[in-house]
Amino acid sequence: MKNWILCLIPCLLLAGCGESAAPPLTTEENVYAHVVGLGDASGSEDMFQAAFVSGAAPKNREDYGKYAFVVDGTAEINGDEASVPVKIIGGVISSQEGDSAAKEKAGDKSETQMTWKLQREGKEWKIKEAPLPG
């Protein structure tokens, strides 16, 4: 009986060690991820440039870090191009600005809806146009 239990333990341990691969993103999820991630990408010149179609990155990279971007509806995807309704939320406090900036700007929140354009380059979606309010 003891040998049977000793053989069972490694089998149970091995059964729980299988790798589970996440399913691949759908085209729509991939497009949305590029929109939502632009605020973080604005913290690095290289990442910001890589988020856009070649030559399309705006010069005001720092301005994108002042906003949060939320997909606000359904993307229209036609072949290698997509139009995405984006809610741009202003008054977002950067963790780099600290607590005193958060207290000063607590009432400065704003929301604007814009349409961003994305384009597929090879297998990867990139932003073609990402207008900000104002």
Residue with tokens 């309704």: 85
Q: Where are the chain's structural domains?
A: 27-129
The pTM of the full predicted model, rounded to 2 decimals, is: 0.72
Report the largest interatomic distance among the alpha carbons of the chain, rounded to a whole angstrom: 77
Count CA atoms within 13 Å of residue 114 on its CB side: 17
Residue pLDDT, tens place only, 69-82: 999 999 999 999 99
3.10.450.540, 3.50.50.60, 3.20.20.100, 3.40.50.150: CATH of 27-129? 3.10.450.540
Cβ neighbours for 88, distance < 8 A, ≥ 6 positions apart: 67, 68, 69, 111, 112, 113, 114, 132, 133
Give the model's pLDDT for residue 97: 52
Rounded CA gap, 131 and 134, in Å? 9
Residue 52 DSSP SS3: strand
Bridge partners of residue 81, in order along the sequence:
78, 119
Rounded CA gap, 48 and 88, in Å? 17
Residue pLDDT, tens place only, 80-112: 999 999 999 998 655 445 544 444 554 568 899
Rounded CA gap, 134 and 50, in Å? 25
